[in-house]
Amino acid sequence: MRNLKVMTAYRGTNYHGFQRQENAMTVQEVLESKLSKVLNEPVSVTGCSRTDTGVHANMFCFNVKTSSKISCLGFCRGVNGELPEDISILSCEDAPPNFHARYDCKGKEYIYKMHCSESKNPFAADLMLHYRRKFDIEAARKAAVYLVGTHDFSSFCADCTNVSTTVRTIYSFKIENRGDSVIMLVKGNGFLYNMIRIIAGTIIDVSEKRIAPDDIPAILAAKDRLRAGRTAMAHGLYLNRVFYSEEELMRDI
C-alpha cells in the first residue's frame, strides 16, 4: 500500500470548505471522487487543515493511501484531467507509510488580501475583501508586532471547545502594501478556529481607530473573544504555504 503526499491548490468560492459534509459540496468530496476514478479504487484523503466556506488555498497538502501503481506524474496528469477548473494538483510524491498530512505539519502560512479602493475590482470580487476606506498601514503594523510570539489566543478564537490548548506561536506577521492591495502574511505553528480571520478583522478595526495598536496586549491577556475585533470575511483568506520541516518553517524569519 502506497502513501501519496499531494499538494493541491483551490479556489474556495464554490465550496463549503475543505472537509466533507453531508449536505454541502466540499473540496474533499470532489477530490475523493476524482481520485477514486483515476486510481480505480475507492479512496479517502486526509487533509492538512480545515478551511471555511469561501476560503482559498495556494498550497494545501493531503495524503492518500492506494494500491495503485500509477506514477506520480501520471497521477498529477490524470487527476488534473478530471478535476474542475477551480481545483488543481500541484505535485505528488511517495511518502513514508506513517506520513500524516495534518499531524506531521510543522506550521502554516496564511495570507489575507484586501482591495482598498472606492471602486471595486471586478476581477477579484470573490478573491479579495473590498475595503472602501483608506487603510492605516502604519497603525496596522504596530498592532501586528504585539501578536508575534507565543501567546494564548483565546481572544482570537471563535470556538475553543475542541482544542486541548489555545496557546499558539506566530513566527512572523508582515503587512504589505502593493498599490490598492493590502496583503497580510501570518506564519505560525498552528491556528485556532477563525483565528486568522479574527486577527485580520482586528487589524482592520485598528486601521479604523476602533482599537488602538497598544490595546493588543490587553486583548490577548483578556482571553475573551468579545475583546478582539470583527471576523473578517472568508473570501480574502488563503492558506498560502504548509511546512513539513522546521528548517523550511523558520526560513525568512
Distance (Å, whole) CA 40 – CA 68: 8
- Is residue 180 part of the annotated active site? The answer reads no
Distance (Å, whole) CA 127 – CA 237: 8
Q: Which of 52, 86, 94, 180 is catalytic?
A: 52
Distance (Å, whole) CA 41 – CA 59: 26
Please give the span between the terminal C-alpha atoms of the chain, in angstroms, as a whole number.
38
CA distances from 66 to 34, 45, 46, 96 (A): 14, 10, 13, 13
b/e map of 119-150 (b: 16 or more CB within 10 Å)? eeeeebeebbbbbeeebbeebbbebbebbbee
List the catalytic residues. Answer: 52
